[in-house]
Amino acid sequence: MRRALGLLLCVTAGGQDWPHHGNDPGGSRYSPLKEITRANVARLKPAWVWKSGDVSDGKTHLLRSAFEATPIMAGGRLYVTTAFARLAALDPDTGRELWVYDPQLDKKKPHNLFINRGAAYWTDGKNERLLYGTLDGRLLSIDAATGKPDPAFGQQGVVDLRKGLAEEYPQAGIGLTSPPAIYKNLAICGSIVTDRDPLGPPGDVRAFDVRTGKEVWRFHAVPREGEPGNETWEKDSWRGRGGVNAWSILSVDQQRGLVFLPLTSPSYDFWGGDRKGANLYGNSVVALDAATGKLRWHFQTVHHDIWDYDLPAQPVLCEVQRGGRRIPAVAQITKMGFTFVLDRETGKPLFEVDEKPVPASPVPGEQAWPTQPVPRLPKPFARQSMKPEELTNVTPESRAHCAKLMQGATLGELYTPIGLNTTILFPGTNGGANWPGPAVDPETRTLYVNSMDVGMIFRMEQRPEGSVIPYRARSLGPGGDRFWDLKLNPCQQPPWGHLTAIHLDTGEFRWRSVLGVVDELIEKGLPPTGTSNLGGPLVTAGGLVFIGATNDSRFRAFDKETGKELWVFRLPASAHAAPMTYQGPKTRKQFVVIAAGGGNKYNSTYSDELVAFALP
């Protein structure tokens, strides 16, 4: 088959604000601001710091906090959500607190972590509203000027997201951690739902009227009887099926009236013997008519997922030029380390995708799908396998611990099903890439994506007779399923984290830089190893890629043309979030802002600081 070539241009915001989570509705994470450049970035200093006070190490409160929010800048104010789901308005030039709204999240209820990734902004030119969700299943509409709930929206500013979804499962959690997508007067919402049990609240995507809070449309992520895709569920296995939700960020093509969903795996994540079939629309990029919720197309990235390979990141809207014409496109990065570049109007891959045979499952009752889609280009940006001779050697203690974990284990290739024997696979359940997604530069047609190489280690264990499902995955790593040592350093030889620039004309890497350091290993004389990382990049017209993400409490700037690290700043905690940038309305300075919350699942240093940088 022919290799597809093309020019990729991203749809970007042209202003000096940052009005959407990824700056524009298509999630480019590109800014045209260029006061901060390659030549002066070394002079970048903290301009102000805002502390939310919302931080938890899991000792006082039940859960740990993860300050993962990306602020938005609109209407002359900076807006940010905290780990406890409070919403704050700040002066963009000084960080001075203007108002705070507190939805009074019950901190005694069990969730995954204290997480809220941001709010969405809507205006009709007169009224301004901020819409965001909570872990306990509320969609809120807040007046952007006053910080007060909009009394016309739902019940005094609140819509109950459990209503119509979760009544049959009163003990099951449902919530919203990512901001809604805004299309005209609609707030389009995904959700977080449980993936531990096969049955539970569905992952349906819904649109609500921004003015009234009334539900306008609903898309069944697991198609019901008579709907396209229902035939991919053997017998009645679609009924009551949990998962297949959009917990990450949606994208909108305002011109074409399309909304793009990154859907996740069906429940239960690791055993699908009770849901034989390809399981649409699990693990699919889905395009809907944004006004009606009607299906336009889908592309499934994993058939019958039994690895928890959710689509974790926002689909990025771009344009590919071929033969003198421009093709609107959407680029979807994955936990597996693949980048799928699809025609935005049809869902057809713009680089060839092969259905490659993969191993069968040894687990009784399981029926793994016989093939999986593998794009020929772009090349994978994350490790997808490991050989025994690649065992870590950074310290004798790490090597000994990891050798013990690996003893007798199956070192699988990508899409090897987890077996009854200890199974080690790459990438792990957090990727590869994760939720913040990539940044795309329209000037150079380059996609920038950060990734980590942390494997997973599991085995399938039979459950007692009468259990909900006969097999579950047992985590075998220190404190979870990750294949790392007692100091949380991966068990294979470094590097362990990268920032990769992918030239989307060719699918080839323009450059690839090691991302992150382990201070203890640097002190021992080892070169930079890279680290696990959760967060995303920002690319600017000033020639820079900014990124925190790394598990080393650093914020960095790279030359977007060469991948050379130009600036690094030590933060109070690791920044497991994506940065943003804007021009201050009074000072006219360019600010770069990032949430430094630490913690998450990778370290024990917690913080609540939002840090803004500017040139002196």
Q: Cα 70 to chain center, whole Å? A: 12
Whole-number Å distance between alpha carbons of 302 and 187: 28
Q: What is the pLDDT of residue 109?
A: 83
CA dihedral angle for residue 115, residue 161, residue 313, residue 557, rounded to 10 degrees: -40
Question: Which of 312, 290, 288 minimizes the C-alpha distance to 301?
Answer: 312
Residue 61, token pair as written in the block:
């409160």
Question: Which of 126, 132, 118, 120 minimizes the C-alpha distance to 145?
Answer: 126
Residue 434, token pair as written in the block:
């994760």
Q: What is the pLDDT of residue 9?
A: 37
Q: What is the pLDDT of residue 442?
A: 87
Peptide bond into 281 cis (omega under 30): yes
Q: What is the pLDDT of residue 288?
A: 98
Low-confidence ranges of the chain (pLDDT < 50): 1-14
Residue 96, token pair as written in the block:
């001075």
Q: What is the pLDDT of residue 14?
A: 43
pTM score, two decimals? 0.96
What are the DSSP calls for 289-333, one per residue? ETTT--EEEEEESSSS--S-----SPPEEEEEEETTEEEEEEEEE
- CA 126-587-592 angle, to 5 degrees, is 85
- The amino acid present at 377, given as its one-letter code, is L
Q: What is the pLDDT of residue 15?
A: 54
- Coil, helix or strand at residue 149: strand
- CA 585-117-109 angle, to 5 degrees, is 135
DSSP 3: P
8 Å CB contact between 63 and 114: yes
* Phi-psi group of 300: left, alpha or beta (phi > 0 → left; psi -120 to 50 → alpha; rest → beta): beta
Tell me which long-range contacts 149-157 makes (C-beta under 8 A, separation of at least 24): 149/101, 152/211, 152/212, 153/129, 153/210, 153/211, 153/212, 153/213, 154/212, 154/213, 155/213
8 Å CB contact between 178 and 247: yes
